[in-house]
Structure 1
Amino acid sequence: MSKNIPFRESLKRIEEIVEKLEQQDVDLEEGLKLLTEGLRLHKLCEQKLKSAQTQINRLITESEVK
């Protein structure tokens, strides 16, 4: 899974995966594949959010010093 996927696209794909998994006609193999992809995207989104929070905190700290 590439880290270059935009955050918004990752969220959209997670929503699509959830919708597919909520359907009762998804077979086991496809469900596991979708779940794996969704978990990877979730982790990627968490990393991007943490990175953004770190940048925000740094900017706030820098602006307080000036």
Structure 2
Amino acid sequence: MEKENLNFEQAMEKLENIVDQLEQGDVPLEQAIQYYKEGMKLSKVCHDKLKNVENEMAEILNDQGETEPFTVEEES
């Protein structure tokens, strides 16, 4: 399965598995480097998918059926 075809949850699960492997600390250096590269690719897939959702949510329909900017207000 190509990374680009993974859904967000699948990519996150694979990324979490890689992190678990690396945190165990008994991974040979060459394997750790491969895990790191794979993790970076999966991280980019997750980031891109979140960015796409953010772009899709940039505008929402108001009560009159017109689009308006969508913003999320964070609590301070």
TM above 0.5, one fold?
Answer: yes
TM-score with structure 1 setting the length = 0.86
Q: Secondary structure at the match of 1:26?
A: coil
2:22 is equivalent to residue 21 of structure 1? yes
Q: Which has the higher contact order (CA 8 A, sep 6+)?
A: 1
- How far does residue 17 in structure 1 lie from its aligned partner after superposition? 0.3
Aligned length: 63
Cα distance in structure 1, aligned partners of 2:4 and 2:32: 23
Superposed counterparts of 1:1-66, under 5 Å: 1-58=2-59, 60=60, 63-64=61-62, 65=66
CA deviation map 1:15-61 (0-9, x unaligned): 10000001121000000000000000001110000000111113x1x
Q: Which has the higher strand share?
A: 2
Q: Which has the higher helix share?
A: 1
Task: Verify the 8 A CA contact 2:22 2:35 in the aligned structure 1.
Answer: yes
**Matched AA of 1:43:** K
**Runs (5+) with no aligned partner, structure 2:** 68-76
